[in-house]
Amino acid sequence: MSTDNNGSMSQSEYDDRIELSAGSDWHSRPLTDIYAELETSEEGLAAAQARERLERYGPNKVEAEAGTSLLRILVEQYSSALIWVLIVAAIVMAGVGHTIDAAVITGIVIFITLFGFVQDYRAEQSVQALKEMSTTYAIVRRDGEKRELDATKLVPGDVIFVESGDIVPADARLLEESNLRVDEAALTGESVGVSKETNQVDEGTSLAERKNTIYKDTVVERGSGTAVVVETGPESEIGQIATALEEAEDRETPFQTEMDRLGKIIAGVVVGAVAIIAVAELIVGETEPLQVFLTAVGIAVSAVPEGLPAVVTLSLALGARRMAEQNALVRRLPIVEALGSVDVICTDKTGTLTEEEMTVQRIAANREVYEVTGSGYDTEGEFLQDGEATGEAQVAEILRCGMLCNNVDRGTRERDTDGDETGVADTEQEERTYLGDPTEIALFVAAQKAGFDHEELFEAYPRLGEIEFTSARKRMTTVHETPDGDPVAYMKGAPETVLKRCDRELIDGSFVELTDERREAIEAQNEDFAEDALRVMGFAYRPDVPTEQATRPDETVEHDMVFLGLQGMLDPPRPEVTNALSGCLNAGINIVMITGDNAVTARSVGDEIGLRSVTVISGLELEEMSDDRLAEVVEDVDIFARTSPDHKTRILQTLQAEGHTVAMTGDGVNDAPAVKNADVGVSMGIRGTDVTEQASDIVLLDDNFATIRDAVKGGRRIFDNVRKFVNYLLSGNGGEVTMIFTGSMLGFGLVITPIQILFINIVTDGIPALSMGVDPPAKDIMDRDPRPPDEGVITDRIVTSIVGIAVFMTICLLPLFTLNFYGELVPGYDVLEAVAGWNPGYEPSRELAQTVVFTGFVVFEIVRIQAIRYRYGLGLFTNRWLVIAVAVAVTLQLLVLYTSTGQLLFDVEPLALVHWLQIGVAAVVFALLMSLFVKVQDQYFERY
């Protein structure tokens, strides 16, 4: 469940809820009591025990109300007024004894509802599957070690670890905490952070006051904590109120809104046309009133694209599903439309453009530089000076600092091994690995290369407290107890930040004052590392920490420190990024790198991957810039370096104010506002925090920039496809209405029967339209500029197409009608017959003429579908579903024409070769007219 849904519960409901929950007493019991009841300890459960409990308690998730949805989808099919018009028509028909017509209409009603039902159901299934893909992970202690696993597998008794940015995975009683503050708005409606502590509280304490308990689906704002799970899934506090919160708002997509609006416009036009036809027919008096009624119904149903919203939803859902297979998980369907308009992508560097498998390569300590050998997470490696191994002594202090001021742990992680690349662990396969931030893992591994053992080191230097790393602080400090019993602080962070807090440096075991010269030399060294695209961190320690600050340290600890040196990490660019980047530039999308890293490193990485990297602005410069000045330059900046998360929001707003549609990536807690406000907010599936994920529209399951490019491509493709079938269906409908209207006005009576129109719209048009929803991307999809954000599905060009096609269809089909209805009335018919010696063997008749028009429409629509696709560079056989759909449509049409049941139901005459020839000639003329028209359109309109 998402915290987005908070809004659906009023404050009084929250208050009631808090009253109600007085029943559970986990907060007021001694921990020993809880351990005894849950048969656990601070060491957590054994894996086997947890498995057994999972069976007993069920998965840790709050069930959505399933079951009712099938019925709801079915009922929704009957919400369209047109279905009711058809039902009334069938009843009227049956009443006046036209049983065949009544049966056919009933059949069609059943078909429409089933068709709509299946589409909506499939769409819903896809959306559901997408929802299930966004798994939340939890860190838990099982079998005495840390594991990262799918949060739905948590059980009461598990010991869990939470830190800032996490969504608390279950209700849990705190065992330890450091500076922990939690936003409990999801539960209490009160969005002020609550500081947590471990003390036991009274039984009557209200939910909001139970400081020793953290609750499922609340958000860790700051700090970290360890806790024992007491309730999971439906038994959790949030689970019990889930029914109130579960109602996820099903907002309409902009597509759907546009389709709905369009439907209404068309309905208006149709009602007008129907009224005119009805009056005309009644005055001429040739047609019986019942037939007039049926004509009206037929036109109404045929002209209104009432199946369109369902087709749109389905193609969105299926498209989104395909995007998920390519690692872009769409959290909000409407975003697909915005994706096609993105013209700026603001991206993080670390992990998105780069691999984020970091390795320390160089260390500057003791005024010397050391090369570190070995690659990746392999713990074998040496420390070389001028190519000679030096041993570890020279770098021991800086490495110790790197391992102590570090939150990495060894543990296991459940991995997605079923090959579906969803990133969702659906097997029990596990991998022993490092759990934590890759920057810290690199430091951890570097220390291991020098023989430091994590457990031994932490035993010798137990941690007393921590001042967290945040992107804004750009540093982190931990306080430890030395083997002598004194508190000592270790700090690591951005070199300039660390250096600012040092007054001495450690040289060969003694403290030496940091002169201005030395500071400059260190900065030059930093730059030197950075120019080689290394990510550089500074290290320092403070041996004389006042005891009173040891356990609850604050920033006052972070001064008078002793500088230890620099470590430079290589974070190689992802190989696929260069390609993806040039693809985006080609598609008219500008790329802006926004990184917390230093300008020199950022520029080197930018150069390597082919970013323009010409204009680089630092966070500091940004802060000094006025809004006007920023607006002037923002479009030319390629890299923003040393930024804090709040800079992202400012950059975003400036770009948006300049009229850009911006996709913005983010991972940390503080990135959430920028991600939320971006036109397309992108979060990281692997590295990102839960909170940013909640704020985002798309999750990159592989954290990879190339996936953003694919998502944009996917978005453009879905949009194209929607536009294609909307164009196709509307122009077809327009043709039918114009044809019937013109025929009626010219006094020809009904040129095609309503039942035939229904058949075309629903079967021979409907099925191919649906398959166009899965058309492959256009050839030029990433060669054209982004679509202007205010450009809807229906462009001016499409409007002219609809009108043009309607006219052309009428021009080409009306002569066929007169030919087969009046025969000799049309000059040339006799000649054709005489010259070619063809005798159709049929007397001209209305049925025959209607059949030719009916079949003509079917053939024209097949020509039309290809003409539309041709503009997107798509050949006939590029979509096998379409080939099948067309084959099905043709087969059904032939069955209608040449079986006695078909003839009976649809009131058709079997066509002879000459009629097919007539239709063929008309289709060729139609195709020629269309291509001429396209040439004219090209003069006045954009390509699509």
Residue 220 corresponds to which amino acid?
A: V
Kindly write down the DSSP assignment for every residue of 349-414, as one continuous string: STTTTB----EEEEEEETTEEEEE---TT-----EEETTEE--SGGGHHHHHHHHHS---EEEEEE
Give, for 8, the enclosing helix (H) or strand (E): none
The nearer residue to ligand ATP, 236 or 689, going by C-beta atoms, is 689
**Neighbouring-strand partners of residue 641:** 618
Q: Please, what's the largest Cα pairwise distance for the chain?
A: 117
**Rounded-to-integer distance, Cα 650 and Cα 161, Å:** 33
- DSSP one-letter code for 212: T
Q: How far is CA 561 from the centre of its chain?
A: 45
375: Cα separation from own chain's centroid? 34
Q: Could you tell me how many residues of this chain bind ligand ATP (CB under 6 A)?
A: 18
Question: How big, in percent rounded to 5, are the helix, strand and coil portions of the chain?
Answer: 50, 15, 30
- Among 567, 595, 692, 918, the residue binding ligand ATP under the rule CB under 6 A is 595
Check if the beta carbon of residue 805 is closer than 8 Å to that of residue 731. Answer: yes
Q: Which is nearer to ligand ATP, 345 or 494 (CB)?
A: 494
202: tokens are: 């009274």
Strand (E) or helix (H) holding 504: strand 502-507
- Structure tokens given for 627: 């809004």
Of the pair 672, 806, the CB lying nearest ligand ATP is at 672
| Per-residue DSSP letter, 165 | T
Q: Choose, by CB under 6 A, the member of 277, 476, 530, 867 that binds ligand ATP.
A: 476
Closest approach, Cβ 537 to ligand ATP, in A, equals 5
Q: Which is nearer to ligand ATP, 226 or 471 (CB)?
A: 471
Q: Could you say whether residue 146 binds ligand ATP (CB under 6 A)? A: no
CB of 597 to ligand ATP, least distance (A): 4
Answer yes or no whether residue 439 interacts with ligand ATP by CB under 6 A. Answer: yes
Closest to ligand ATP by CB, 602 or 730: 602
User: Could you say whether residue 61 binds ligand ATP (CB under 6 A)?
Assistant: no
> 873 and 778 in contact (C-beta within 8 Å)?
yes
- Please give the Cα distance from 375 to 411 (Å, whole number): 21
- Given a contact cutoff of 8 angstroms between Cβ atoms, the answer to whether 471 and 477 are in contact is no
Residue from 147, 474, 480, 650 binding ligand ATP (CB under 6 A): 474
The region of 122-130, 200-208, 344-352, 457-465 touching ligand ATP under the rule CB under 6 A is 344-352
Helical spans, DSSP H, in 137-253? 185-188, 237-240, 242-246
Phi/psi of residue 585, nearest 5 degrees: -60, -40
Residues 597-656 that bind ligand ATP (CB under 6 A): 597
Nearer to ligand ATP, 569 or 813 (CB): 569
User: CB 126 → ligand ATP: shortest distance, Å?
Assistant: 32
Measuring CA to CA, how many Å separate 735 from each of 102, 752, 812? 26, 12, 11
Min dist CB 592 to ligand ATP, Å, is 12
Distance between CA 920 and CA 934 in Å, rounded? 21
Stretch that binds ligand ATP, among 29-37, 259-267, 471-479, 916-924 (CB under 6 A): 471-479
Helix (H) or strand (E) holding 852: helix 846-870
Contacting residue, 469, 719, 725, 829, with ligand ATP by CB under 6 A: 469
Binding mask 497-536 for ligand ATP (x = CB under 6 A): ----------------------------------------
**CA distances in angstroms from 520 to 405, 500, 515, 527, 600, listed in the order given:** 25, 12, 9, 10, 16
471 in contact with ligand ATP (CB under 6 A): yes
> Which of 157, 487, 493, 565 contacts ligand ATP by CB under 6 A?
493
- Of 109-117, 589-597, 773-781, 833-841, which part binds ligand ATP (CB under 6 A)? 589-597
User: Which region, judged by CB under 6 A, interacts with ligand ATP, from 175-183, 268-276, 432-440, 831-839?
Assistant: 432-440
Indicate the residue among 522 and 726 with the shorter CB distance to ligand ATP. Answer: 522
Beta strands in 543-653 (DSSP E): 561-570, 590-594, 616-618, 639-641
Nearest distance, CB of residue 474 and ligand ATP, angstroms = 4
418/852 Cα distance (integer angstroms)? 54
Least distance (Å) between residue 323 CB and ligand ATP: 24
What residues numbered 346-375 form the site for ligand ATP, per CB under 6 A?
348-350
- Closest approach, Cβ 593 to ligand ATP, in A, equals 7
Told to check if 596 binds ligand ATP by CB under 6 A, we report yes
**Binding segment toward ligand ATP, per CB under 6 A, in 158-166, 447-455, 474-482, 869-877:** 474-482
- Which of these segments, 26-34, 156-164, 488-496, 603-611, binds ligand ATP (CB under 6 A)? 488-496
Which DSSP letter does residue 775 get?
A: P
DSSP secondary structure letter of residue 624:
H
Nearer to ligand ATP by C-beta: 77 or 448?
A: 448
348 among known catalytic residues: yes
Helix/strand/coil for 759: helix
Burial of 159 (0-12, 13-18, 19+ CB in 10 A): buried
Between 390 and 644, name the residue whose CB sits nearer to ligand ATP. Answer: 644
Coil vs helix vs strand at 582: helix
222 phi, psi to nearest 5 deg: -155, 155
Q: Is the dihedral of CA 633, 634, 636, 641 positive or negative?
A: positive
The one segment of 201-209, 215-223, 469-477, 898-906 that binds ligand ATP by CB under 6 A = 469-477
Closest CA to 545 of 475, 637, 477, 454: 477
For ligand ATP, which stretch binds (CB under 6 A), given 83-91, 265-273, 435-443, 807-815? 435-443
Nearer to ligand ATP, 278 or 622 (CB): 622
**Residue 574, interface with ligand ATP (CB under 6 A)?**
no
| Torsional sign, CA 609, 614, 615, 616 | positive
Residue 537 touches ligand ATP, criterion: CB under 6 A: yes
Q: With binding defined as CB under 6 A, does residue 492 bind ligand ATP?
A: yes
| Distant-in-sequence, close-in-space partners of 840: CB < 8 Å, separation ≥ 6 | 912, 914, 915
Task: Candidates 171-179, 250-258, 343-351, 773-781: pick the segment binding ligand ATP (CB under 6 A).
Answer: 343-351
Give the shortest CB-488-to-ligand ATP separation in angstroms.
Answer: 17
Whichever of 151 and 669 has its CB closer to ligand ATP, that residue is 669
Q: Is 475 in the site for ligand ATP (CB under 6 A)?
A: yes
Please identify the residue of the shown chain whose CB is closest to the bound ligand ATP. Answer: 596
Q: Token pair for residue 187?
A: 């539960």
Instruction: Tell me the closest approach of the beta carbon of residue 492 to ligand ATP, in angstroms.
Output: 5
SS3 label, residue 213: strand
Residue in 101, 158, 348, 720 annotated catalytic: 348
Tokens of 174: 């705190």
Which residue, 304 or 580, is less far from ligand ATP as judged by CB?
580
Minimal distance, residue 382 CB to ligand ATP, in Å: 25
The 817-856 contact track toward ligand ATP, x by CB under 6 A, reads ----------------------------------------
- Give catalytic residue positions: 348
Point out which residues bind ligand ATP (CB under 6 A): 348-350, 437, 439-440, 469, 471, 474-476, 492-494, 537, 595-597
